[in-house]
Chains A and B, each alone.
Chain A
Amino acid sequence: MINNRERYGMKKANIAPFKLLATLVITALSLATLSACSSSDSGSSDKVLRISTIPQGETGDKVWQQAADIFKANNPEWDVQFVIQDDDLYETVGLPNQLTGSNPPDAYYEWAGDRIVQRYNDGFAADLNDKIKSSKIGTLFDPSTLLAGQVSGKTVLLPTGQDVTNVIWYDKDIFAKYKLTPPTTWEELLAICAKLKAAGITPFSMGNKDMWVAGNWFAHVYSRIIGEKMYHEIMTLQTPMNSPELVDAMKVVVDMKKNGYINASANSIADNEGYTLFFKDGAAMLPIGSWIVGTQKDEAPNKHMDFFNIPAISGGKGDQSSVIGVTVGYVINGKSTKIDKTIEFFEGFFSDEVTAAWQKQGSSPVTKTAMAEQLDPLQIKLGKLIRSGVPIVAPPDTGYQLKNADALNLATQQVLDGVKTPQEALDEAQAKLAKK
């Protein structure tokens, strides 16, 4: 039997530890909250420039270092830190995380189009108009080159290149062996595919696990068929994705699938596995962008390859000489406290010395000097293609909102795999977009 005193004593003894327990929990919670709040400010006043980018290959890393060395020679107390992330990761998850993280980059790689508009609206892209005028950068570029990196008349992106995001690369040796020449019409392309298939060679290889490879290629084909205007309207959701015109255009993918012109593994392998298949003679053609030049130099230097743009599609409503491409470059973080120093870094980055190193590496910079003197024959040809004055079609994933791009690219992937008809795939895409 417990008497009142004992009961009281017990109660008293229990209250104090509970008070302590509660105090501990509250203190820890407060500390956690405080540390979470304060973390966003850390790292803003140090003497380190943080540049976020996608991989540039082994030789590209050396050029980055060269640019950093120039900056450090003039600023011995400063350091330059490169944050390099896989491009698929960077484009989707990586960059937003970095920008909102505790050590946000002072400058970061971006694709012109909807993405830089969003960055500017969110305050993550600095208006560089005045900085360009007052620094050496203004003299390094032709003003027209900077236009693609503008948002409402404000330059927010310093261009490093104009990526042709999709052309058809072909194996010159295979084409020579079977006496094939680059096609000028879609029918000729299909005839080439039929001939290769009959010879036991897979016409196209691609790694479309992440959906953007076939997404870019066929988006260009769709724009040629339905016209650039309608393509833009669909990608900006002004016109439904399941419009009859796009459903019809998607039959091109059905034909490719039906005839077995694309590697059966396409939707299960990554983009780089698709390159490897092409480099190892697993296919005669590879639909991919201009960056393959640098990859080929690193991974298959003996591969003889050339490219052609998507050939003309008869009856297509779009410009049959259009190119799918995007201007890429670096945005200076509008929230950075080191904008002037970052500009100084890019003065070195765009210098003639570093530009020459980029050209040697296989890239195609767009400074005045670089435009006047391209080194790599394939890059010269690509440069001519994108600067020939033909309409430039924006790729779904970098030119438009990611959710819209994902919807179209998934539909393309489903049709390519034969699991859905164009109508079913696009109906599903439209329904999904309508819900969000």
Chain B
Amino acid sequence: MKPSSRWTPLILIAPALIIFVFIVLTPLIGTAGLSFTRWNGFGAPKFAGFDNYSRAFADLVFIKSFKNVAIYIVVTLFVEVLVGLVLAGILSSRVRTTVYRVALFVPVMLPMVVVSVLWRFIYNPDFGIINAVVRKLGAEEFSQVWLGDTKTALLSICFVSGWVYSGFYLAIFTAGLQRVPRDIIESAQLDGASDSKVFWKIKVPMIRSVREVSALLCITGGIQGFDLFYVMTGGGPYYTTEVPTTYMVRSVFRDQEIGYGSTLAILLTAIVLLVGLIFMRIRKKNEGSLEY
């Protein structure tokens, strides 16, 4: 249908546009401006040219934070997306699974700060449940300072992330799997395909777009991850769990280097956009392949 006036589309998008300008565009422009300054939050910012950018590219902690986030994303692709997919496969092939679905989705509804505090207690080396169970089983040597050991801290956070978000991906994949036509599945079953074969060879390939969206959400969400890291370890021990967002917050608020922190924010935004664009390009390339 054609709009009655050429102004109509603009009037309709105006509220969203104004909100976008206020909460995205203005802060982004402001942050970009600050990224070229040296400023501690008091007094007037001093122009610093590209100093902050050259410093960021040579900053070993900032570089390490990207390595950490890369590990986090790779691990969470398994413990969130893959586990969510497998759970969806198991639950969608059974009846009366509502209780399990709800139970697995509950962590998604909890605020991340609550989850972080809860798991801090669980991981507490002195009073935590995990070490208590390990000790009760007489395996004292396996008790760990989970969040304080450079070998276990990042993986411990990944595990919590999986505990939370596998339920989220379970919901997404369940919706996708329900779209797969029954007749295709029944044909395969008549041909003697097992449940496992039906799932991996028919259902999973047919929900490619859902898989791609899930992977994109996991990757971009991972890059933006903050609360779990900030509350559980604060980036420690010794930057082992430092991710770009926690480092940015540390630079701006603790070190009071607002100019440098803004530079990190701009670089992070650019990287998230780049990842999104690459992903879209890959998707476009694969368009036309068989999918339900």
Cβ-defined contact, B148 with A265, below 8 A = yes
Tell me which residues from 238 to 262 in chain B have a Cβ below 8 Å from any Cβ of chain A: 238, 253-256
- Contact across chains for B125 and A264 when beta carbons are under 8 A apart: yes
Task: Determine which residue in A122, A265, A276 has the highest number of CB atoms from chain B within 10 A of its CB, and name it.
Answer: A265
A28 interface residue per 8 A CB criterion:
yes
**Residue contact A97 to B253, C-beta cutoff 8 Å:** yes
Q: Decide: A269 and B236 in contact? CB cutoff 8 A.
A: no
Residue numbers in A under 8 Å from B17 (CB-CB): 21, 24-25, 28
B50 within 8 A of A: no
A5-40 near B? 1/0 per residue, CB < 8 Å = 000000001001100110011001101110010000
Residues B26 and A33 in contact, CB atoms below 8 Å apart: yes
Q: Is residue A417 contacting chain B, with contact meaning CB distance below 8 A?
A: yes
- In the assembly, what is the distance between CA of A263 and CA of B42, in Å? 40
A122 x B42 contact (CB < 8 A):
yes
Residue-wise, chain B 145-160 has the 8 Å CB interface mask toward A (1 for contact) of 1111110000000000
Residues of A with C-beta under 8 A to B254: 92-93, 402, 406
Determine the distance from Cα of A263 to Cα of B127 in the docked complex, in whole angstroms.
Answer: 12
Q: A16-B6, A20-B10 are in contact. Are A32 and B21 (CB under 8 A)?
A: yes
In the complex, the chain B residue whose C-beta lies closest to that of A118 is B42
Chain B contacts with A in 1-41, Cβ cutoff 8 A: 6-7, 9-10, 14, 17-18, 21-22, 25-26, 29-30, 41
* Pairwise interchain contact A419-B238, C-beta atoms closer than 8 A: yes
**Is B276 among interface residues, defined by CB-CB distance under 8 A?**
no
In the assembled complex, B291 has its CB within 8 A of some CB on chain A: no
Instruction: Check: A60 CB closer than 8 A to any chain B CB.
Output: no
Cβ-neighbour of A28 out of B22, B30, B234, B256 (below 8 A): B22
Q: Please name the residue on chain A nearest to B153 by beta carbon.
A: A268
Taking a contact as CB atoms under 8 Å apart, the answer to whether B238 and A100 are in contact is no
A414 near B238 with CB under 8 A, answer yes
Please determine whether A28 and B6 come into contact, CB atoms closer than 8 angstroms.
no
Q: How many angstroms between the C-alpha atoms of A268 and B25 in the bound complex? A: 39
Please state if B124 and A25 are interface contacts (CB–CB under 8 Å): no
Cα distance A132–B78 in the bound complex, in angstroms? 65
Q: How large is the interface on A (under 10, 10 to 19, 20 to 34, 35 or more residues)?
A: 35 or more
Q: Closest residue to A211 on the B side, CB-wise? A: B236
Are A17 and B234 also in contact (CB < 8 A) when A24-B14, A24-B18 are? no
> Could you tell me the distance in whole angstroms from the C-beta of B146 to the nearest C-beta in chain A?
8
Q: Cβ of A282 < 8 Å from any Cβ of B? A: yes
In the bound complex, what is the Cα–Cα distance between A44 and B238 (angstroms)? 42
**Which parts of A277-299 form the interface with B (CB within 8 Å)?**
277, 280, 282
Q: How far is the CA of A100 from the CA of B256 in the complex (A)?
A: 12
A277 to B125, CA, bound (A): 11
Whether the Cβ atoms of A268 and B6 lie closer than 8 Å is no
Interface string of A387-419 (1 = CB under 8 A from B): 000000000000000110010001001100101
Residues on the A chain within 8 Å of B21, using CB: 24-25, 28-29, 32
State whether the Cβ of B126 lies closer than 8 Å to any Cβ in chain A: yes
Closest beta carbon of chain A to B61's beta carbon, Å:
9
- Whether B7 lies near A267 (C-beta < 8 A) is no
> Would you give the shortest CB distance from A279 to chain B, in whole angstroms?
12
A360 at the interface (CB under 8 A from B): no
Is A317 located at the chain interface by the 8 A CB criterion?
Answer: no
A276 to B145, CA, bound (A): 17
Q: Which residue of A lies closest to B131 (CB)?
A: A265
Enumerate B202-255 residues with CB–CB distance to A below 8 Å.
233-234, 236-238, 253-255
Kindly supply a per-residue 1/0 record for chain A positions 251-287, scoring 1 wherever the CB is within 8 Å of any chain B CB and 0 otherwise.
Answer: 0000000000001111111000100110010100000
Q: Which residues of A contact B253 (CB under 8 A)?
A: 92-93, 96-97
Q: Is A368 an interface residue (CB 8 A)?
A: no
Q: Flag whether B192 is at the interface (Cβ < 8 A).
A: no
Task: Enumerate 23 A-B pairs (CB-CB under 8 Å) in ascending A order.
Answer: A17-B10, A24-B17, A25-B25, A29-B25, A32-B21, A96-B42, A96-B256, A100-B42, A209-B236, A210-B234, A264-B145, A267-B145, A268-B125, A268-B233, A268-B237, A269-B126, A273-B124, A277-B126, A402-B255, A402-B256, A413-B237, A417-B148, A419-B150
Chain A: residues with CB nearer than 8 A to chain B?
13, 16-17, 20-21, 24-25, 28-29, 31-33, 36, 92-93, 96-97, 100, 122, 124, 209-210, 263-269, 273, 276-277, 280, 282, 402-403, 406, 410, 413-414, 417, 419
Give 10 closest A-B pairs by Cβ, nearest first. A268-B148, A28-B21, A265-B125, A93-B253, A32-B26, A122-B42, A268-B147, A92-B254, A28-B18, A267-B148
Known: A24-B17, A268-B125. 5 other contacts (CB 8 A): A17-B7, A24-B21, A209-B233, A268-B148, A268-B236
User: Chain B residues in contact with chain A, CB under 8 A?
Assistant: 6-7, 9-10, 14, 17-18, 21-22, 25-26, 29-30, 41-43, 124-127, 145-150, 233-234, 236-238, 253-256
